[in-house]
Structures are given as structure tokens and as C-alpha cells.
Amino acid sequence: MAAASERINVFRPRTLADLLSLKRRKPDVSLFAGGTYILQNDTGKYPELLPAIASIRHLDELKRIHRTERYIELGCCVSLAEINRIGGETIPDVLIQAIRSIGSPPVRSLATIGGNICARDKRLTLFPVLLLLDTRVELREHGGSRWASLTRLVDAEGNLHISETEILTRLRIPLVDWNYQYHRRLSAGPVSDRWSLSFCGIASTNRGILTDFRCIFGSMGKVLLRNREIEAELVSRKVPLLERDLSAIYRDFEAYVKESAPSMLSPFQVGMAGKMIRWFLASLGA
Amino acid sequence: MDKVSKEFIDDLTVQGMLHCAAVRSRIHRGTIREIVAPELPPNVMMIREADLPGGNCISMGNADVPLLAGSNVEHIGQAVALLCGPNEPEVHRLAELVEVQYDRGDPLTLTRDFKINQKLYSRQIAIGNTQTAFEKASQIVEGEYTYRPEGTIPVGAAGALAVVENDGIRVATPTRWLFHVRQSVAAATGLHQDRVRVMSTRVTRADTNCLWYPSLTAAQTAVAALVTGKPVRMIATAREKRLLLTKRTGCIITHKTALGRSGEVTAMEIQIVAESGAFGIFAAEYLDRLCLAASGSYAAKSLKLDAVYIATSTPPAETHGGAGFDGAFFSVEVHANRLAELCQEDPSVWRLKNLLPDRGLTVTRARAGPTPQRKLIDLVVELSDFRRKYSANEMLKKRGDRPNFIPGYLRGIGIATCFHGGSFMSDNRANSATVTVKLNSESELSILSSSAMVPEATVDILSNSAARILNIDSSQVHIEPADTAAVPDSGPAIFSRDVTVVHRLLTSCCQTIQKQRFRTPLPIEMSRNRSGGRGRRWDPEIFRGVPFSPLSWASCVVEIELDTVTFELSIRGVWIAIHPGSLLDEKRATSLVESELHAAFEACGGYNRFFEPVIRFSQRSGARPAALEGIATNVFAPAFVSAVSQATGFYFDSVPLSKTLILQYLET
Amino acid sequence: MTVSFLLNGKSVSLDVPPNKRLVDVLREDFHLEGARPGCYAGECGACTVFVNGELTHSCLVPVFAAQDTDIITYEGLADTQEMKYILAGFDAVHYHPCANCRQSRLLTAYALLTTHPVPERREIDAFFSGHRCGCSSMGELYTAIEQAVDMRRRSGRHGRR
């Protein structure tokens, strides 16, 4: 429920500990990092904000970047511009490709990776990409913390489940040498859950054999399409795939799309999803 | 509030000013049952139709536009009531809380099966016997073309500020038609026009919609100031700008063409259904422009044209440079490309065969004067290597067996040509203009004109021209701010009237002063006016004579690339050749054309604006400057859509051209 | 609420509704007119300013989020030598964007030339992708930027990649 200007209460914790303590005392406080998603969708002179807000962008503890040989950790308030600057040498290239498809540089300087994941009503551009990369997230609350796979944060309907007292503080993205990394955001009109589609595909090969294959589709709504059975079936196949294999896989995929969310997807999304997967499969080893 | 011409309306404030927010209709069409307001603070006042002190309408382009919806809502976003109060965010918040209860009606839309009550104007033209021509035709080709371009993001400030004074009312607003605002405010407040003073705040090239909206908003604001007795400012919110200021005119045009044995056009039957939103502002004008452009480019012996202008339940459209012409040329030129393909001819060659002869008459006997279209076509064909690319693409298309999930590009190239006019065809009041200049004893020149001088570079163009004639430095030329108390009525600043009309009157004044200045003591004041109807040789009833003088012409080639996987369209090249009569400033003309091409690409559904067009002007010495504003829009869309048709092998016939549509065709 | 930040190098503080947009605060409370409110959706680019050194659409920043930040507007850079080269480059080729977006384009050019002393066209495209006012052409912009680079090089400052 939005509040008039005079009823908006803004909290500005000085440290992460302060923030966690605030969240324990006032679980209804909503976190505000970049705010791009909220403000882009409210073009009123005075945007409608929730009555209790915690401004967290300034917290250094949430802006840290840490890299090891096996993974990179990004604080939830690291901006998309910052990740883009670090670039595809350090960060999985598919994530960089996805970030570059979002807004313009001045928008990316505000938008944060945590904000992109935590939008309540929609799974925005980076969510499917991070899901595919086996990203784990740190969830902290006063007196405790846990790491969870991003997969576990969403249910089958695409709803996000983070408890009211928890805060997503860090993301840990495994660093794997993917031979094929591809992200594309398509839109047939205004960016919306009916007219937009993002595709993310990653794969690894070794001596002409597919050792890992993953792909996912996202809309600007809650729909996420990923079929692990099809992915598993492809592993250990020779690439390039034979035409008859391509057709068989595509038929499976088509059946999966029809079965899983036909009413939630527009003909544009279904059509483009088919094209993207056929193209990605055909490009492996080619 | 004395010098506002350099200020934006949203920066303008006066002591004790109230803010005004409109309660807007959330439905497209219906009857208002009741307006239920929340409990309003004592310092907030709501103004409804019954509270209006004058008439509840302003008149624009033969249409009556209500200040507030009375019992009926005609379009989404229409103002139903006004809220005035001292706190801007609060009045906007309260306006959102006002509940309007309606009996909903079916929205009126642009369709060939329109309802009878949508019809505003119609025009029928019949020349020769089309029936016989169709009976004798070697080929008959039919096509239906839909043109509903997308508007651009409104960037500039919109709104008005009104202050009640002892002897009348003073209003500031960014407008392209200063004296129309005065007329509207007078009508709304019941004051005599002499008691209404209007000043224009800064208008920029980004402010495309500065005709109907400023007049309506100024009238609403003035009424609010009169009712409350306090200065009132109403500024359009970003939401309001998106809702009300992005609408463009649209049309559905059906062409049926009879072709002779060698592919020549022998007869045309054209049906037009067009709209510009609710009320039909300038509907008659748009309809005439549509009819002229739809029937005028190609030589045919007989014509049957049936055109209807209808009202729809969308906000009124902006009056942009191409108004009427863009939709008509879209249909004519896409259809021409189709005719050429069916005749198995290169479309540039087909055009050269079928265009009106030089100095020829259109089928309705409209006189086009010297017709440089052939020269322009030859120029763009050569610059773009059109013929080679066109044939190569045709070859590839015929071979086209590549599955569309294999990455790559499909290429297509399209061509279009058009003429363009820089004045109103049928609205004599809008055509009239007066310009006054004063040269003082210090040899400083003041130009007095109500014109908004858009784009901003127009100021330099006019100043430089005046300075050149009078042999003074351009720094000695001052353009007086647009203020009805100080400048004469120069008409609306659209259709390039600043350079075609205001510039002509200005140079005439300056030339006369130059002849007199060494014989007559300074200061000298000189006025020139142009009467809208005087000396015009155009008969709108029978569609004969000289519709515009002078005309401008353009030909354009667009080459596109379609990503076979993502269906993303990108521009490989745009070549445009324009005959603008003569140019006052080639650099600025180039800039105008280039930015119009980018906007036209967006209007067609494209996004990546970064392409560099090749722009050539073919001038004629001694010619008068003709209209440039809108000409690039007229030719880009048909050339672009034809290029996509060639790339994909499917005939596309609508704008905007969405990926969904391309997918729908390619996947079937 | 009271919000404090650095504005063009000076520490400022004001009492303001927390959800007022930074662009409106700059114009209405500090009378800095370089940034203009346009679309309020981060699309048109007319409100561009620097926030903590990053080019930012100030319409997307509610003022409470500006607390303790370092904000630089066009006015804060207008007198710098770098901006003078850019202005001279714009003027030399008669590149005149409309009054709505002129100063935010100058600021974007400043950010571009600070990070890319001799920018390529794709870099110019990327930086200016946040400007969607249709008032001027890209062709003119390319030439204006090239001119600014040239002027700076001739004066002996920077100019190498």
C-alpha cells in the first residue's frame, strides 16, 4: 500500500547489523537499493512508495566483490554498471550480455543486482541467467544466515520466497569455463510479460561431446521455462547435433512448452522460444 | 511573468499561485453517472462543467473541443473536472481519488466497419469511367494498407499558467499557435479577446504537440483562475504527456488499381478511412491532404475515391508535419512497389514510367508545377546502387530455402517517392499570417511575429536573412517574444510555415525597408500580411488548381537487414534526395531530415536509432523555400516496409511493423 | 525529511518530502536548470547528472536516496576546461540540441570524453543510448564529439587512448 509523502518513513541504517536489527523490529520495512524498477514504473511527480523504507545503497558491506578460483561473490548492492565494468574476463560472459541488455548506462549505474532479483511481482532479466549459472544467495537475518540455491527461492509459479525478516545480502556465482554462452532479450513491443522474452543458453563441450547443457526462458512476468530432462538427455551427445536429433529435441521442447504454461505465454513468446532453442542447439559445435 | 519566452512553463511561478490537476477519464467512452469526490480540504476546490463561467468548448480546426466532459466522455484521458489547491502533489493525489461513475460505451476505433455516428467528414471524387477501365484492364491489383504510427516520448514541458488581472487575464503556455490560445481562452472565460493576453513560454523541437493541447490547457487554467480568483498553474504530468500527447493520425486505405498491358496505371479506386482521435480536430484538412496524396502521384485516366474521416475514442492527435500525407503516401508507395513486382519490373523503373509527367496534372487536375521526382529517383537509385541490390535480393528470395533458425540476415531494399505541401489546404484562417519589422535609428531591427520559431535554429535563419537584406550584423536583429500584446498573428508554426510563410513576409518587409531607409528617416515600421484565401487557385470542392505553392519533393531508398533468429530489424542504409525549392540553411535542413528519419524508424516500430542517412538536396535557383517538416516521414515508412517485404518474401502492409507480425507470417 | 549531500562541491541540506525526485529538487529547491524533467521513467535522458561520479538519470532517484552522495550537475562543470572544449566542439559544427536536453547531452559528452578520450562511434552510441529526445541528429553529434576531441588535442591535453 503506497503512502503520501508525509507518511513515508525512511530508515538509513549505518551498518548491515543495524539493518538486520531494523528488519527484526520492523519486518514490514521494504528495502530500497537502486529503485529503478519502482521508479520506472511510476511516472508520477511524486512516486508512490511504501510507508516504511530502508535505504541500503550506501552500505559498503553490501557492495563488496570477492573472487576466488571457483566463484565470484557479489554484494546485493553492486550496481549493474560496476559488474559491466569488471567485464566478461572475470564474470561469466552470459551475465555481462544480460546486463548490457538492460536500460542505458545511467540506468545501470543505479540498478543493483540484488534489486533485479528481488522484484516481488516479476522475475526480471538477470534472474533466469543467475538461475542457470547455479547461483547461490546468502540470506541473513538478525542472529543468523544461510546460503540457498536461487532455485529454492522461487516456486513453480515464479513467486519469490524470502521471509520478511531475511535480507538477500550476497550472491555467489560459480566460475565455470562455458564454451557457449548466449543471452538475448527480445521484445515485440513495449517491454511486458506478454511481449518480451529472454533466452539464456550455456553449454560446455569436450572433444566434440556435450558435457553440459542448460537453457532457460524468462518473460518479464513470472514465467520461467526450463526443462532439466531435455537438458540431461543432451549431455554426452556428439556435436554438432544431427538434423534428426535436433528435430526430436525440438518436438520434446514444443510439447513441454504446450504442457507447462500455454495460457501464460503469448504466441510471440512461444514462437520465439522455439526459434531460439533450435538456433542454439544448431550452433553447438558448428 | 513579463518575459517568459526563454522559460519553461514548469519553471514559471507567481506568488500565491494555486496548482491545478485534472480528473481524467479512465474509460474510452461512456456517459458520466456521478462524480464522487473524497472529502476535500477547505483550500482545495473542484471545478465541474456546471462551474464554468464561459462556454464549455474551444474551437479548433472546425472541431468543438469541450473543456470538461459534460455528460459524455469522448476519449480516455479526457478532463472530467479540475482540482485546484496550494499544494501540487496533494491536488494530484486528490484527483486520483475522485471516483467517476460511468455507463460504459463501446470504444470507437479505426476500422473499415466504423459506426455511422463516427463519421465526421467525407469526400468523393469521380473522374472518368473506372468501371470500363477495370473491365479492359490486363491486371487488377488490390491492397489494403494500415497506418498507425507510434508517437515518440514527449520530453518537453506542457501546461499553462493563468493570472487574473484588473482588466482581464494573462496566460503563459508553450504553444505553436499563440493567437489560437487567445481565442480559446476568450471563448472559455467569456472575456473579449482584447482582455486576454497570451505569452508563449519556451517551445522546443521536442514539443511536437503544441496546437490543441496548449489551447485547451490554457483555457482550462484560465477558467480555474477566474473561478478561484487566484493565479493557477497546470502542468502536465509525465503520465498525462504519455496519454495525451503521443497520439498520431491513422488511416486504413484500400487501393484497387487497373494496369494496362505494359504495366501502366489506367484506373484507380481508392477507399480511405482516417482518424485523428476524438472530436476530429483538423479533420477536413487531413482528409483533403489524404485524398490529394492518395490520388496524386501517378498518371491515371480515371479515378474513384471515397474517403471518410471518423472520430475515435482516443485523445486528439498531434498536428505534425506529415499530417495526412504520411498515411496516404505509405499506402500509395507500398502499393506501387507491389504493382512493380507484379509487373516484374524494378520499382524505380516502374515509377519512372508511371509518375506524372513534368508540369503535368494529377488525375483530379491538380497542378503540380515542375515535377522533379524523376531526377530525385535517379539520384537515390544511383547513390544506393538500388537496381543491383534489388535484383540480387530478388534472386536470393527466389532461392530462399534456408530455415529461419539458422543465424544470418535477410536483406531487402525499398524505394518511395512523394510530394509535400507547406500550408493548410482548406483552413484559410490558419493560412493567414502577418509579420511586422521595425528598424530603429541605431539600425537595430526588431522582428514581431507570433510564430514559435521551432526548431530553435529558425531564429538564426530569420535573423541572418533579415541582416543580409539590410546589410547589418545579425547581432543587431532581435526577435520579439511571442506575446499577443506586442506581436501580430503569424498563424500556427507547423508545416514549416516559419520558413515558407513567415520568412517570405519578413524578407518582403526587409526589402521594402531597405529601399526606403536612405530616403525616409528612421525608425521605419513595415508590416506584411498574407490572407489565407486571397489569390489561392485551389478549389477544394472539385479538387482542382494549385494545392500548395511551392511543393517540395522527395525520394528515398531504405535498405534493411533482418536477423533470421531474433527478427531484429536494422537499417543498413537510408538514401534520401529532396527538392526543397531552395534552402535557407543546408546544415540545419540536413539535421531536421536526419532526426525525422530516426523518428520515422521509431514510428515504424524500430528501436536502434543509430544510422547515418545519406541526404542530398536538389535545389532550383530562384525557387522559394518549400516545406521540409514531415517530408522524410512521408517517404521513409513505405520504403522501409517494402524493404522488409522483399527481405522476407511476404507482403507487409502496415505500420508499425512488429516482430509479432513478422513471426506470424514467417512461421505460417 | 532532511537530506544532505554534496552538490557541485558544496555541502547542502534541505527539508523535503522523501519521495521527491532528485531532478525536481535540483530545479525547484536549488534552481539548477541543467537537468530537466522529461519522462520520469529514465528514458529520455534530459535529467542526467553525475551521482558519485556515475552518469545517472536524476528522475529515477528519490531524494532520500541522495543522502551523503556527491552530485555534480552541468552547472558544476560548465566552467571546466574539458566542458569548454565540448561546448566549442558543439558550436563549431552548429550542433544545437533542444533546450530540454542540451545540457544533459553536454554532461554525457563530458562523461564519454573523460573515460574515452578518443571515442569510437559505438562508444558514442552506447553513452548516448540514454538520450531519446528526437531534437537532433546522431550525425551531428558524432561530428560535434570529433570536433571536441580535435580541439582538445590541438590544445595539447589528453587525446591519446
CA distance B591 to B601: 16
The arithmetic mean of pLDDT across residues B287-310, rounded, is 91
CA distance A204 to A284: 9
Q: How would CATH label the architecture of B433-530?
A: 2-Layer Sandwich (3.30)
- Give residue C159's pLDDT: 47
Q: For chain B, what are the domain ranges?
A: 9-103+154-244, 321-424+546-667, 433-530
Q: Are C57 and A106 contacting, i.e. CB atoms less than 8 angstroms apart? A: yes
Of B205, B588, B602, the CB nearest to C98: B205
Residue of B12, B153, B202, B628 best to disrupt the C interface, most CBs of C under 10 A: B153
Residue of B nearest to A266 (CA): B660
- Give residue C160's pLDDT: 43
pLDDT in tens, B514-539: 999 888 888 999 999 988 655 557 77
- Give residue C96's pLDDT: 86
- When mean pLDDT is compared across B131-140, B310-319, B355-364, the lowest value belongs to B355-364
Residue whose C-alpha cell reads 571536441 in the numeric block: C148
CA distance A38 to B85: 28
- When mean pLDDT is compared across A201-215, B395-409, B477-491, C133-147, the lowest value belongs to B395-409
**DSSP H or E stretch at residue C96:** none
CA distance B325 to A1: 48
pLDDT in tens, B530-577: 886 555 577 777 778 888 778 899 999 999 998 888 888 899 999 999
- Give residue B16's pLDDT: 95
- When mean pLDDT is compared across B317-321, B531-535, B576-580, B643-647, the lowest value belongs to B531-535
- Chain C residues with CB under 8 Å of A105 CB are 55, 126-127, 129-130
CA distance A34 to A115: 7
Mean pLDDT of chain A: 90
pTM of the model: 0.92
Give the contacts of A274 (CB within 8 A, at least 6 positions apart): A250, A253, A254, A257
- Maximum average pLDDT range among A16-20, B126-130, C37-41: A16-20
- Give residue B38's pLDDT: 93
DSSP character at residue B462? H
Superfamily of domain B9-103+154-244: Aldehyde oxidase/xanthine dehydrogenase, a/b hammerhead (3.90.1170.50)
- Give residue A192's pLDDT: 59
CATH hierarchy code of domain C2-73? 3.10.20.30
- Give residue B532's pLDDT: 67
pLDDT in tens, A83-141: 999 987 889 999 999 999 998 999 999 999 999 999 888 899 999 999 999 999 999 99
Nearest Cα to Cα of residue A97 among A88, A89, A105: A88
Residue of A nearest to C53 (CA): A109
pLDDT in tens, C76-131: 999 999 999 999 999 998 888 888 899 999 999 999 999 999 999 989 999 998 88
Q: How would CATH label the architecture of C78-154?
A: Orthogonal Bundle (1.10)
- Give residue C161's pLDDT: 39
Q: Rounded to an integer, what is the distance from CA B411 to the centroid of its chain? A: 31
Q: Which residue has the higher pLDDT, A25 or B366?
A: A25
**CB pair distance less than 8 Å for B206 and C133:** yes
Give the contacts of B519 (CB within 8 A, at least 6 positions apart): none
Over 80: is that where the pLDDT of B86 sits? yes
Q: Rounded to an integer, what is the distance from CA B17 to the centroid of its chain? A: 34
Enter the ipTM. 0.92
Q: At what angle do helices B586-603 and B457-470 cross, to 10 degrees?
A: 160
Q: For chain C, what are the domain ranges?
A: 2-73, 78-154
CA A130 to each of CA A113, A115, A183, A221, A235: distance values in angstroms, whole numbers, following the listed order: 10, 13, 12, 16, 21
CATH hierarchy code of domain B321-424+546-667? 3.30.365.10
Of A46, A188, A283, the CB nearest to B658: A188
pLDDT in tens, C4-24: 999 999 999 999 999 999 999
Phi, psi of B477 (to 5 degrees): -105, 130
B394: how many CB neighbours lie within 10 A of its CB? 17
Of C44, C125, C137, the CB nearest to B155: C44
Residue of B nearest to C31 (CA): B11
pLDDT in tens, A32-91: 999 999 998 888 888 989 999 999 999 999 999 999 999 999 999 999 999 999 987 889
- Chain C residues with CB under 8 Å of B151 CB are none
Nearest Cα to Cα of residue B639 among B412, B414, B379: B414
- Give residue B43's pLDDT: 95
Q: What SS3 class is residue A276?
A: helix
- Chain A residues with CB under 8 Å of B566 CB are 184, 186, 272, 275-276
Return the amino acid letter for B440: N
Return the amino acid letter for A185: R
Strand partners, C27: none
- Maximum average pLDDT range among A221-225, B129-133, B221-225: B221-225
- Chain A residues with CB under 8 Å of B664 CB are 267, 271
Residue whose C-alpha cell reads 486571397 in the numeric block: B534
Phi, psi of A153 (to 5 degrees): -85, -15
Over 50: is that where the pLDDT of B433 sits? yes
Over 60: is that where the pLDDT of B480 sits? yes
CA distance B434 to A278: 66
Give the contacts of A169 (CB within 8 A, at least 6 positions apart): A16, A61, A62, A75, A76, A114, A138, A139, A140, A145
Q: Which three cell numbers stand for residue B140?
A: 487488377
Of C33, C37, C136, the CB nearest to B591: C136
Q: Which three cell numbers stand for residue B523?
A: 525608425
